[in-house]
A and B are shown apart, each in its own frame.
Chain A
Amino acid sequence: EVQLVESGGGLVQPGGSLRLSCAASGFIVSTNDMSWVRQAPGKGLEWVSVIHSGGSPDYADSVKGRFTISRDSSRNMLYLQMNSLRVEDTAVYYCARLHDYYDSSGQPIRPSPIDYWGQGTLVTVSS
């Protein structure tokens, strides 16, 4: 059974740092694209970052240069290092697995859908 369990959230002051972890089970993290998606209180979903199966990362403009996504294949873990945190980074952060689906003609679905989500971890940036 696929499971994603986030940890590491909490209260941090503006300008501070936090590292989120996501423990994966039931599949191998390095064989899938993995993402972090966040949701500010009472707001919608916002894609934050992805690490592709090949290891290359991508980031939303809002976090580029401040956040770093990484993975540890030996531990089957996904991470998000968040530096220079701002009040507007306050959100529930979800770890998510992207999955390759194909249509009836065999063409890949793009973008890859998220088929599994963690339960989320709350990050609060406040003084």
Chain B
Amino acid sequence: QSVLTQPPSVSGAPGQRVTISCTGSSSDIGAGYDVQWYQQLPGTAPKLLIFGNTYRPSGVPDRFSGSKSGTSASLAITGLQAEDEADYYCQSYDNSLSGWNVLFGGGTKLTVL
């Protein structure tokens, strides 16, 4: 089964820009499946941040943006704020196996310095 690879951790100072990568393969992101990003604040359930690679649900600040190219996707956060400190997960789909195979990345912990 394929895997979505994220860096375990990233950090940045308030006001800075950080990016989180999500690397897949030709059977998931590279096969044309969309990428979602979820934010999980400490002790809470995940929240949808980006869907369809680049779209933000209502209420998500435009400081958050997503992109996709080839077999990878990225989440960018500009104007970093203390409340952005959380775990971030990418999600896509794998067509290399039978059945319904949703994948999550391993997660990236964002620390605001």
Nearest-Cβ distance from residue A88 to partner chain B, whole angstroms: 16
Residue from the list A37, A47, A103, A114 in contact with B55, Cβ < 8 A: A103
Q: How far is the CA of A119 from the CA of B47 in the complex (A)?
A: 11
Contact A109 B52 (CB under 8 A): yes
- The answer for the CA separation of A121 and B47 in the assembled complex, in Å, is 17
At the interface, yes or no: A58 with Cβ under 8 Å from chain B?
Answer: yes
Do A94 and B34 touch (CB < 8 A)? no
Number of interface residues of B (CB under 8 A): 29
Cross-chain contact A61 with B1 (CB below 8 angstroms)? yes
Q: Is the CB of A111 within 8 A of B45?
A: no
- CB-CB under 8 A from A119, the residues of chain B are 44-45
A interface residues, tally (CB under 8 Å): 24
Within 8 A of B (CB), among A72-122: 94, 101, 103, 109-111, 113-115, 117-120
B106, A44: Cβ atoms under 8 Å?
Answer: yes
A-B contact number at CB 8 A: 67
Binds A, one of B10-18, B19-27, B76-84, B87-95: B87-95
Whether B34 lies near A45 (C-beta < 8 A) is no
- Map CB proximity to A onto B64-108 as digits: 1 under 8 Å, 0 otherwise: 000000000000000000000001010111000101111111110
A97 to chain B, nearest CB (A): 11
Q: Which of A37, A50, A94 contacts B100 (CB 8 A)?
A: A50
Q: Are A45 and B36 touching (Cβ within 8 A)?
A: no
B48 touches A58 (CB 8 A): no
Given contacts A45-B89, A118-B45, contact A111 B106 (CB under 8 A): no
The answer to whether residues A115 and B107 also contact, given A58-B100, A59-B99, A109-B52 and a CB cut-off of 8 A, is: no
What residues make up the interface of A, taking CB atoms closer than 8 Å to B? 35, 37, 44-47, 50, 58-61, 94, 101, 103, 109-111, 113-115, 117-120
- The chain B residues found within 8 Å of chain A, CB to CB, are 1, 33-34, 36, 38, 44-48, 51-52, 55, 57, 87, 89, 91-93, 97, 99-107
Given contacts A44-B105, A113-B51, A115-B48, 17 further A-B contacts (CB under 8 A): A37-B104, A44-B87, A44-B107, A45-B46, A45-B107, A58-B100, A61-B1, A101-B51, A109-B34, A110-B33, A110-B93, A111-B91, A111-B102, A113-B36, A113-B91, A114-B38, A117-B46
